[in-house]
Structure 1
Amino acid sequence: MCVFLYFKAFHIIAMVCWFAAIFYLPRLFVYHAMSGDAVSQERFVVMERKLYRGIMTPAMVATWAFGLAMVVNNFTIYKTQGWLHAKLLLVVALTMYHFACGHFRKQLINNPTYKTHTYWRWFNEVPVFILIAVVILVVVKPF
Protein backbone atom coordinates (compact mmCIF):
# COMPACT_ATOMS: atom_id res chain seq x y z
CA MET A 1 0.00 0.00 0.00
CA CYS A 2 2.86 2.39 0.75
CA VAL A 3 4.25 2.08 -2.80
CA PHE A 4 0.80 2.84 -4.19
CA LEU A 5 0.67 6.12 -2.24
CA TYR A 6 4.03 7.17 -3.69
CA PHE A 7 2.75 6.36 -7.19
CA LYS A 8 -0.33 8.47 -6.45
CA ALA A 9 1.70 11.39 -5.08
CA PHE A 10 4.05 11.44 -8.08
CA HIS A 11 1.09 11.00 -10.44
CA ILE A 12 -0.57 14.10 -8.97
CA ILE A 13 2.68 16.10 -9.10
CA ALA A 14 3.26 15.13 -12.75
CA MET A 15 -0.37 15.90 -13.62
CA VAL A 16 -0.12 19.38 -12.09
CA CYS A 17 3.04 20.07 -14.09
CA TRP A 18 1.43 18.74 -17.28
CA PHE A 19 -1.66 20.89 -16.86
CA ALA A 20 0.41 23.98 -16.02
CA ALA A 21 2.28 23.55 -19.30
CA ILE A 22 -0.88 22.67 -21.23
CA PHE A 23 -2.51 25.88 -20.02
CA TYR A 24 0.56 28.00 -20.77
CA LEU A 25 1.59 26.75 -24.24
CA PRO A 26 -1.58 27.87 -26.07
CA ARG A 27 -1.28 31.20 -24.22
CA LEU A 28 2.17 31.51 -25.79
CA PHE A 29 0.49 30.76 -29.14
CA VAL A 30 -1.80 33.74 -28.52
CA TYR A 31 1.16 36.04 -27.94
CA HIS A 32 3.07 34.50 -30.84
CA ALA A 33 0.17 35.13 -33.22
CA MET A 34 -0.03 38.73 -32.00
CA SER A 35 3.69 39.45 -32.29
CA GLY A 36 4.68 41.60 -35.20
CA ASP A 37 8.47 41.57 -35.21
CA ALA A 38 10.97 38.81 -35.99
CA VAL A 39 12.76 39.09 -32.63
CA SER A 40 9.55 38.46 -30.68
CA GLN A 41 8.53 35.64 -32.99
CA GLU A 42 11.91 33.92 -32.55
CA ARG A 43 11.63 34.35 -28.78
CA PHE A 44 8.22 32.64 -28.79
CA VAL A 45 9.56 29.79 -30.93
CA VAL A 46 12.27 29.14 -28.33
CA MET A 47 9.89 29.48 -25.37
CA GLU A 48 7.34 27.15 -26.98
CA ARG A 49 9.98 24.54 -27.83
CA LYS A 50 11.48 24.57 -24.33
CA LEU A 51 8.06 24.36 -22.68
CA TYR A 52 6.84 21.55 -24.94
CA ARG A 53 10.00 19.45 -24.90
CA GLY A 54 11.41 20.28 -21.49
CA ILE A 55 8.32 20.39 -19.28
CA MET A 56 5.10 19.41 -21.03
CA THR A 57 6.19 16.14 -22.66
CA PRO A 58 8.18 14.79 -19.68
CA ALA A 59 5.25 15.67 -17.40
CA MET A 60 2.85 13.83 -19.71
CA VAL A 61 5.09 10.75 -19.74
CA ALA A 62 5.41 10.82 -15.94
CA THR A 63 1.64 11.26 -15.53
CA TRP A 64 0.99 8.25 -17.70
CA ALA A 65 3.75 6.18 -16.07
CA PHE A 66 2.66 6.78 -12.49
CA GLY A 67 -1.02 6.47 -13.40
CA LEU A 68 -0.46 3.14 -15.10
CA ALA A 69 1.71 2.02 -12.17
CA MET A 70 -1.26 2.67 -9.86
CA VAL A 71 -3.58 0.70 -12.12
CA VAL A 72 -1.16 -2.23 -12.38
CA ASN A 73 -0.58 -2.14 -8.62
CA ASN A 74 -4.34 -2.43 -7.94
CA PHE A 75 -5.64 -3.97 -11.16
CA THR A 76 -8.17 -6.28 -9.50
CA ILE A 77 -9.87 -3.26 -7.90
CA TYR A 78 -9.56 -0.81 -10.80
CA LYS A 79 -10.67 -3.10 -13.64
CA THR A 80 -14.33 -2.78 -12.61
CA GLN A 81 -14.30 0.96 -11.83
CA GLY A 82 -16.34 2.78 -14.49
CA TRP A 83 -15.12 6.19 -13.36
CA LEU A 84 -11.53 5.10 -14.11
CA HIS A 85 -12.46 3.97 -17.62
CA ALA A 86 -14.06 7.38 -18.25
CA LYS A 87 -11.03 9.15 -16.78
CA LEU A 88 -8.68 7.18 -19.03
CA LEU A 89 -10.71 8.21 -22.08
CA LEU A 90 -10.34 11.84 -21.03
CA VAL A 91 -6.60 11.38 -20.50
CA VAL A 92 -6.35 9.92 -24.01
CA ALA A 93 -8.21 13.01 -25.29
CA LEU A 94 -5.80 15.23 -23.35
CA THR A 95 -2.87 13.34 -24.83
CA MET A 96 -4.27 13.99 -28.32
CA TYR A 97 -4.58 17.67 -27.38
CA HIS A 98 -0.95 17.55 -26.22
CA PHE A 99 0.23 16.20 -29.57
CA ALA A 100 -1.96 18.73 -31.41
CA CYS A 101 -0.11 21.44 -29.47
CA GLY A 102 3.17 19.93 -30.69
CA HIS A 103 1.91 20.01 -34.28
CA PHE A 104 0.69 23.60 -33.95
CA ARG A 105 3.98 24.63 -32.35
CA LYS A 106 5.82 23.47 -35.48
CA GLN A 107 3.33 25.23 -37.76
CA LEU A 108 3.88 28.53 -35.94
CA ILE A 109 7.66 28.43 -36.48
CA ASN A 110 7.45 29.56 -40.10
CA ASN A 111 3.96 31.02 -40.06
CA PRO A 112 3.06 33.03 -36.92
CA THR A 113 -0.28 33.92 -38.48
CA TYR A 114 -1.15 30.23 -39.01
CA LYS A 115 -4.21 30.82 -36.79
CA THR A 116 -5.53 34.00 -35.20
CA HIS A 117 -4.97 34.93 -31.57
CA THR A 118 -8.74 34.51 -31.10
CA TYR A 119 -8.51 30.89 -32.26
CA TRP A 120 -5.72 30.21 -29.76
CA ARG A 121 -7.74 31.81 -26.95
CA TRP A 122 -10.60 29.37 -27.60
CA PHE A 123 -8.22 26.47 -28.14
CA ASN A 124 -6.75 27.23 -24.71
CA GLU A 125 -10.11 26.50 -23.04
CA VAL A 126 -10.33 22.83 -24.09
CA PRO A 127 -8.13 21.40 -21.30
CA VAL A 128 -10.13 23.29 -18.67
CA PHE A 129 -13.16 21.12 -19.40
CA ILE A 130 -11.07 17.96 -19.35
CA LEU A 131 -9.57 18.95 -15.99
CA ILE A 132 -13.00 19.63 -14.48
CA ALA A 133 -14.35 16.29 -15.70
CA VAL A 134 -11.30 14.33 -14.51
CA VAL A 135 -11.35 15.87 -11.03
CA ILE A 136 -15.07 15.18 -10.65
CA LEU A 137 -14.61 11.58 -11.80
CA VAL A 138 -11.71 10.96 -9.40
CA VAL A 139 -13.29 12.64 -6.37
CA VAL A 140 -16.97 11.81 -6.79
CA LYS A 141 -16.56 8.44 -8.58
CA PRO A 142 -20.10 8.66 -10.02
CA PHE A 143 -20.00 5.14 -11.54
Structure 2
Amino acid sequence: MSDLLASAYPWIKSLHIMAVISWMAGLFYFPRLLVNHVERVDPTGLLNETYQNMEMKLFKVIMQPAMIATWIFGLCLVFTPGIVDWSMWWPWVKAVSVIAMTIFHEWLGKRRKDFVNGSNKLTGRQYRLMNEVPTLLMVLIVVSVVVKF
Protein backbone atom coordinates (compact mmCIF):
# COMPACT_ATOMS: atom_id res chain seq x y z
CA MET A 1 0.00 0.00 0.00
CA SER A 2 2.79 2.43 0.87
CA ASP A 3 4.44 1.74 -2.53
CA LEU A 4 1.19 2.66 -4.26
CA LEU A 5 0.91 5.88 -2.22
CA ALA A 6 4.52 6.79 -2.95
CA SER A 7 4.15 6.25 -6.71
CA ALA A 8 0.85 8.16 -6.78
CA TYR A 9 2.18 10.99 -4.58
CA PRO A 10 2.17 13.77 -7.23
CA TRP A 11 -1.40 12.89 -8.24
CA ILE A 12 -2.63 12.65 -4.66
CA LYS A 13 -0.99 15.96 -3.78
CA SER A 14 -2.55 17.61 -6.86
CA LEU A 15 -6.01 16.30 -6.00
CA HIS A 16 -5.55 17.39 -2.38
CA ILE A 17 -4.64 20.95 -3.43
CA MET A 18 -7.63 21.16 -5.80
CA ALA A 19 -9.98 19.91 -3.09
CA VAL A 20 -8.56 22.41 -0.57
CA ILE A 21 -9.03 25.30 -3.02
CA SER A 22 -12.66 24.31 -3.59
CA TRP A 23 -13.35 23.89 0.12
CA MET A 24 -11.69 27.18 1.02
CA ALA A 25 -13.63 29.05 -1.67
CA GLY A 26 -16.84 27.83 -0.05
CA LEU A 27 -15.63 28.60 3.46
CA PHE A 28 -14.78 32.16 2.41
CA TYR A 29 -18.04 32.76 0.54
CA PHE A 30 -20.60 31.01 2.74
CA PRO A 31 -20.43 33.44 5.72
CA ARG A 32 -20.73 36.39 3.29
CA LEU A 33 -23.84 34.78 1.89
CA LEU A 34 -25.23 34.53 5.43
CA VAL A 35 -24.39 38.21 6.07
CA ASN A 36 -26.46 39.22 3.04
CA HIS A 37 -29.21 36.78 3.98
CA VAL A 38 -29.63 38.17 7.48
CA GLU A 39 -29.24 41.85 6.52
CA ARG A 40 -31.12 42.11 3.23
CA VAL A 41 -33.74 39.38 3.05
CA ASP A 42 -37.27 39.36 4.41
CA PRO A 43 -37.67 35.96 6.15
CA THR A 44 -41.14 35.53 4.62
CA GLY A 45 -40.36 36.52 1.03
CA LEU A 46 -39.37 34.70 -2.13
CA LEU A 47 -35.80 35.97 -1.84
CA ASN A 48 -35.51 34.01 1.43
CA GLU A 49 -36.17 30.78 -0.48
CA THR A 50 -33.65 31.81 -3.12
CA TYR A 51 -30.94 32.39 -0.51
CA GLN A 52 -31.75 29.13 1.23
CA ASN A 53 -31.44 27.30 -2.09
CA MET A 54 -28.11 29.00 -2.87
CA GLU A 55 -26.79 28.19 0.61
CA MET A 56 -27.94 24.57 0.40
CA LYS A 57 -26.31 24.02 -3.01
CA LEU A 58 -23.06 25.70 -2.00
CA PHE A 59 -22.87 23.68 1.20
CA LYS A 60 -24.02 20.26 -0.04
CA VAL A 61 -22.85 20.27 -3.66
CA ILE A 62 -19.51 22.10 -3.37
CA MET A 63 -18.30 22.45 0.21
CA GLN A 64 -19.23 19.05 1.62
CA PRO A 65 -17.68 16.98 -1.21
CA ALA A 66 -14.60 19.26 -1.25
CA MET A 67 -14.12 18.80 2.49
CA ILE A 68 -14.43 15.02 2.20
CA ALA A 69 -11.97 14.95 -0.73
CA THR A 70 -9.56 17.19 1.21
CA TRP A 71 -9.62 14.74 4.12
CA ILE A 72 -9.27 11.63 1.94
CA PHE A 73 -6.34 12.93 -0.12
CA GLY A 74 -4.79 14.57 2.94
CA LEU A 75 -4.85 11.29 4.84
CA CYS A 76 -3.33 9.55 1.83
CA LEU A 77 -0.49 12.07 1.99
CA VAL A 78 -0.08 11.49 5.73
CA PHE A 79 0.27 7.75 5.16
CA THR A 80 2.75 8.18 2.29
CA PRO A 81 6.18 7.18 3.63
CA GLY A 82 8.64 10.02 4.16
CA ILE A 83 6.15 12.88 3.79
CA VAL A 84 5.31 13.73 7.40
CA ASP A 85 7.83 13.95 10.23
CA TRP A 86 5.67 13.79 13.36
CA SER A 87 8.64 14.78 15.55
CA MET A 88 8.31 18.34 14.18
CA TRP A 89 5.67 20.92 15.13
CA TRP A 90 4.23 21.63 11.68
CA PRO A 91 2.15 18.47 11.17
CA TRP A 92 0.55 18.92 14.58
CA VAL A 93 -0.28 22.57 13.90
CA LYS A 94 -1.73 21.61 10.52
CA ALA A 95 -3.73 18.72 11.98
CA VAL A 96 -5.27 20.86 14.73
CA SER A 97 -6.01 23.64 12.23
CA VAL A 98 -7.70 21.25 9.76
CA ILE A 99 -9.80 19.80 12.57
CA ALA A 100 -10.76 23.36 13.59
CA MET A 101 -11.62 24.13 9.94
CA THR A 102 -13.85 21.05 9.85
CA ILE A 103 -15.60 22.12 13.06
CA PHE A 104 -16.14 25.58 11.53
CA HIS A 105 -17.56 23.92 8.39
CA GLU A 106 -20.05 21.96 10.51
CA TRP A 107 -20.93 25.12 12.45
CA LEU A 108 -21.78 26.82 9.15
CA GLY A 109 -24.00 23.88 8.25
CA LYS A 110 -25.91 24.36 11.50
CA ARG A 111 -26.32 28.08 10.78
CA ARG A 112 -27.74 27.19 7.35
CA LYS A 113 -30.32 25.00 9.06
CA ASP A 114 -31.17 27.89 11.42
CA PHE A 115 -32.26 29.92 8.38
CA VAL A 116 -34.29 26.97 7.07
CA ASN A 117 -36.02 26.63 10.46
CA GLY A 118 -36.47 30.39 10.84
CA SER A 119 -34.42 30.35 14.03
CA ASN A 120 -31.32 32.37 13.08
CA LYS A 121 -30.19 34.46 16.05
CA LEU A 122 -26.91 35.86 14.70
CA THR A 123 -26.42 39.29 13.18
CA GLY A 124 -24.59 40.30 10.03
CA ARG A 125 -21.75 41.63 12.17
CA GLN A 126 -21.37 38.28 13.91
CA TYR A 127 -21.25 36.49 10.56
CA ARG A 128 -18.67 39.02 9.33
CA LEU A 129 -16.48 38.22 12.35
CA MET A 130 -16.87 34.49 11.74
CA ASN A 131 -15.79 35.07 8.15
CA GLU A 132 -12.26 35.67 9.50
CA VAL A 133 -11.98 32.17 11.00
CA PRO A 134 -11.07 30.34 7.76
CA THR A 135 -8.52 33.03 6.90
CA LEU A 136 -6.71 32.64 10.22
CA LEU A 137 -6.74 28.85 9.96
CA MET A 138 -5.53 29.00 6.35
CA VAL A 139 -2.55 31.14 7.40
CA LEU A 140 -1.63 28.62 10.11
CA ILE A 141 -1.94 25.70 7.71
CA VAL A 142 0.02 27.23 4.83
CA VAL A 143 2.81 28.61 7.01
CA SER A 144 3.17 25.34 8.91
CA VAL A 145 3.37 23.26 5.70
CA VAL A 146 5.67 25.60 3.76
CA VAL A 147 8.00 26.70 6.57
CA LYS A 148 7.93 23.30 8.33
CA PHE A 149 8.87 24.63 11.75
Q: TM-score, normalised by structure 2?
A: 0.89
Q: TM-score, normalised by structure 1?
A: 0.92
What are the within-5 Å matches in structure 2 for residues 1-143 of structure 1?
1-37=6-42, 38-74=45-81, 77-111=84-118, 113-142=120-149
Tell me which amino acid in the other structure corresponds to 2:77: M
Structure 1 residues 106 and 74: alpha-carbon distance in aligned structure 2, compared to 1, 3 A threshold: same
**Equivalent pair of 1:41/1:112 in contact (CA under 8 Å):** no
Structure 1 residues 113 and 107: alpha-carbon distance in aligned structure 2, compared to 1, 3 A threshold: closer
- Per the TM alignment, residue 103 of structure 1 is displaced from its structure 2 partner at its CA by 0.5
**Equivalent pair of 1:48/1:105 in contact (CA under 8 Å):** yes
- Per the TM alignment, residue 12 of structure 1 is displaced from its structure 2 partner at its CA by 0.5
Q: List structure 1 runs of 4+ shifted beyond 4 angstroms.
A: none
- Matches of 1:77 and 1:13 in 2, distance apart? 20
Unpaired segments of 5 or more residues in structure 1? none
- Per the TM alignment, residue 78 of structure 1 is displaced from its structure 2 partner at its CA by 3.4
- Matches of 2:83 and 2:22 in 1, distance apart? 29
- Per the TM alignment, residue 34 of structure 1 is displaced from its structure 2 partner at its CA by 1.2
The alignment-based identity, stated in percent, is 37
**Equivalent pair of 2:34/2:127 in contact (CA under 8 Å):** yes
**Equivalent pair of 2:97/2:137 in contact (CA under 8 Å):** yes
- Per the TM alignment, residue 112 of structure 1 is displaced from its structure 2 partner at its CA by 6.8
Unpaired segments of 5 or more residues in structure 2? 1-5
More helix by share: 1
Report the count of equivalent residues: 142
- Matches of 1:128 and 1:53 in 2, distance apart? 21
CA RMSD of aligned residues (A): 1.6
Structure 1 residues 76 and 66: alpha-carbon distance in aligned structure 2, compared to 1, 3 A threshold: closer
Write the deviation string for residues 41-72 of structure 1: whole angstroms up to 9, x where unpaired. 11110000000000001000000000000111
Structure 1 residues 126 and 71: alpha-carbon distance in aligned structure 2, compared to 1, 3 A threshold: same
